Amino acid sequence: MSATGKVLNVEGLRVSFQTEAGLVKAVDDVSFSLDRGEVLAIVGESGSGKSVTAMTLMGLTRGVNARIEGAAQLDGKELISASDEELRVIRGAELAMIFQDPMSSLNPVYKVGDQIAEMILAHRDIAKQEAGAQAVELMESVGIPGAAERADNYPHEFSGGMRQRVMIAMALSLEPQVLIADEPTTALDVTIQAQILRLIADLNNKHDVATILITHDLGVVAEIADRVVVMYGGRIVESGTLEQIFYEPQHPYTWGLLGSVTRMDRPRTDRLTQIKGQPPSLLAPPEGCHFRPRCPYAFDKCTQKPSLEARGGDPSHLDRCWLPAERKAAARAPEAAA
Amino acid sequence: MVFVLLAVSILVFFIFNVLPGGDPAVRMAGKQPTETGIEAIRQEWGFDEPIWVQYATTMEKVFTGDLKSYFTQLDVVNEIWKGLPRTLWLAFGAMVIWMIFSIALGLFSAVRAGRTSDKFLTVLSLIGISMPVFWIGALMNHYLGFKLGIFPNGGYVPISEGFFDWLHHMILPWTALSILFIGVYSRILRANILETMNEDFVRTARAKGLSERRVMLRHVLRNSLIPIVTLWGLDFGAVVGGGAILTETVFGLQGVGQYAADAIGQLDQPPLIAVTMFGAFMIVFFNAIVDILYARLDPRIRLESSGSM
């Protein structure tokens, strides 16, 4: 396979859950693709569907109450329609995931070395000792000091950052094609966050692992992402390269997100700007554009659902906003000037 | 642990020997006491001496085995020793049955939570919890033992006199005793399992690509069993300590529990003191075992509790 080939292709993914209150459309027609070695950030607030998208690719949202439609190919293998057993073989080995809270993501009653080895043994036919030795090597490679002794420790004997390193070591143990990191730094101290991000970026470079980084932290995105997908209310509202999203954002929601970040390179205002209102209910989402009720630029046309397309001219930059290009540029102007 | 045992012994002493309700010597002497008998008991137990001397005398009697029933004239500690193997076998066998069945049923009903089979098991376990041992035991004894003759009609055969004969005699008591525990344990385990299944580390286990079976057994069940161990320590200790009074009596096993029941019936005080102490000690002992097991099951506890025994 060429170095630039698509390793993951998601097409029209829809996920909804039957709840007592009704049908919750958590993910609504999400499509994106991932190149080999690329870091794709999926950005959005809580309930935007970013985690559900990732978990669905892993097959972790399957259940009696879930309805999943669409397609997703990992290196040519279909994920959505795969049987549980087919998916189990892919899971961990080719598609691995790091979770948000390292404090609770490891089983408290087993040694961390064994937990890493367990994953290797689930996919490779090797001896236990060998898997154990590999686990120690992996722990070394993610920068855990004294890995040989630490492998015999239990999760509670590790700090949050170290646990997240263990999770990363585990996720990388079988050299997956794609690594999904679901808010990997949210639960960590700021100083540790930077270390963990750097680690993920390094590993991404070194092993050419394509990475999906799910986050609500634009600082994190700016640091390591190549491309960005912005999600809102279960839909992608904008997608493009890092530069496009940060310098020519097309969607008012993206403006709002960018506006609510503390910036050291700008004069300090009294308060950070915030996006007014509440995230949309996924039970009864607003008609048309989901961001309409909170959008200061909303007009009549916004009651119709906008499609995700290249509206600005650059075919790689897609957005879901009816505003004419001139108005977008004008609305963005004070932002750029500041 | 030592402190708990001391407290238990003092409490038992107060309950039987100090609490108002007449002369303890008269109570102890049995149903048809003679004047000289009562006086002898008073002398022997030191009931006319200060209370701490009474306590010391009582404890000395209990622990040196110098405790005699004034009713049957039999040595109390001896009787307990005689009943102990029966009670131990009853407790151990029933425990194995109730643990195996409650784990199997709890796991099954958690996996099928909300479906018909789960609801069926819920009803079944409620029935199990609601059936008193003396009733189900008597029914089993009557129909399976007396009427159909599949099982012997109560009684006990030592294991040394034939394994199968022994087993044959134990099956009904084991079953009767386990039913309640199976009901309770499987319910609690089901709830624990359902809670554990929502843990992040279970999601991690699935994400690792482990088989569903491995996820359930190694990650979910293992963590769900930790709280069950506490319960197990209390219940098993109580049964060994003579708590299975009803089962032992219904099936005529002549264990520690039945010895206690007989002593109660005859208002025979020395055996009661001894059995109560024995029961309390067993519960304390198995709680200590639970502490040790806990440390084995949950490494987080291992560091925190050093030297609390």
Strand partners, A10: A32, A72
Strand partners, A22: A19
Contact check, Cβ <8 Å, A91/B208: yes
Has residue B216 got a pLDDT over 80?
yes
Query: Does A56 lie at the interface with B, CB-CB under 8 angstroms?
Result: no
Query: Does A228 lie at the interface with B, CB-CB under 8 angstroms?
Result: no
Of A104, A123, A167, the CB nearest to B199: A104
pLDDT digits (tens, 9 = 90+) for B220-235: 999 999 889 888 888 8
* Mean residue pLDDT across chain A: 88
Report whether A178 contacts A211 (CB < 8 A): yes
**How much is the pTM?**
0.80
Residue of A130, A146, A328 lying closest to A247 (CA atoms): A328
pLDDT value, residue A137: 93
Joined together, the tokens standing for residue B96 give 């194995």
Contact check, Cβ <8 Å, A84/B298: no
Of A101, A122, A167, the CB nearest to B209: A122
Interface TM-score (ipTM) > 0.90: no
Of A93, A106, A154, the CB nearest to B204: A106
Return d(Cα B38, Cα B51) in angstroms, integer.
Answer: 18
The alpha carbon of residue A198 is apart from the nearest alpha carbon of chain B, in Å, by 23
Secondary structure (3-state) at A94: coil
Contact check, Cβ <8 Å, A99/B200: yes
Query: Does A106 lie at the interface with B, CB-CB under 8 angstroms?
Result: yes
Contact check, Cβ <8 Å, B223/A107: yes
Q: Looking at beta carbons, which pairs linking B113-117 to residues 24 or more positions away fall under 8 Å?
A: B113/B190, B113/B194
Tokens 């692992």, located at residue:
A209
Torsion of CA A190, A192, A193, A197, to 10 degrees: 150
pLDDT value, residue A79: 92
Joined together, the tokens standing for residue A183 give 């808010």
pLDDT digits (tens, 9 = 90+) for A144-164: 999 999 999 999 999 988 999
The alpha carbon of residue A6 is apart from the nearest alpha carbon of chain B, in Å, by 23
Task: Locate the chain A residue with the closest alpha carbon to B214.
Answer: A122
Has residue B104 got a pLDDT over 90?
yes
